[in-house]
Amino acid sequence: MKKRGLMAVLLASLLLQTGCGSARRGEPIAGPMPPLTPAVAKGQILFERHCSQCHPGGEAGVGPAITNKPLPGFLIKFQVRRGIGAMPSFSDEHITDQQLDDLITYIKALRRHG
């Protein structure tokens, strides 16, 4: 059972490293985003302020692409708060828990788009 679990983890890791298809979600490539819910709209502004510098539009830049990988919300939160690797950590002074929820909602909407 443990071996199976480990295999699943390694497979997921490989999948996340390579990505699943193009990460491009910009309007010229993927068309305009559908109308945004209030939470998604708030998340979009936060994404521009905190994330897009290193993950431009969700694509790879200084950091890896995040729109072509099936990352669960809890893992994104973990990464944002802990800042593992080259990514800096963002405490609740920078991004409140509510804002982080909005941010995740937007990232998921962006991932679905295109």
Residues engaged in binding another protein (CB under 8 A): 2, 5-6, 9-10, 12-13, 16-17, 21-24, 26-29, 31-32, 44-45, 48-49, 52-54, 56-57, 59-66, 69, 71, 75-76, 78-79, 82-89, 91
Sign of the CA dihedral 46, 49, 50, 52? positive
What is the closest distance, in whole angstroms, from the C-beta atom of residue 73 to another protein in the complex? 12
What is the closest distance, in whole angstroms, from the C-beta atom of residue 67 to another protein in the complex? 12
Rank residues 5 and 35 by Cβ distance to another protein and give the closer one. 5
Distances (CA, A) of 50 to 28, 43, 80, 109: 23, 10, 10, 17
State the first-to-last Cα distance of the chain, in angstroms, to the nearest integer. Answer: 37
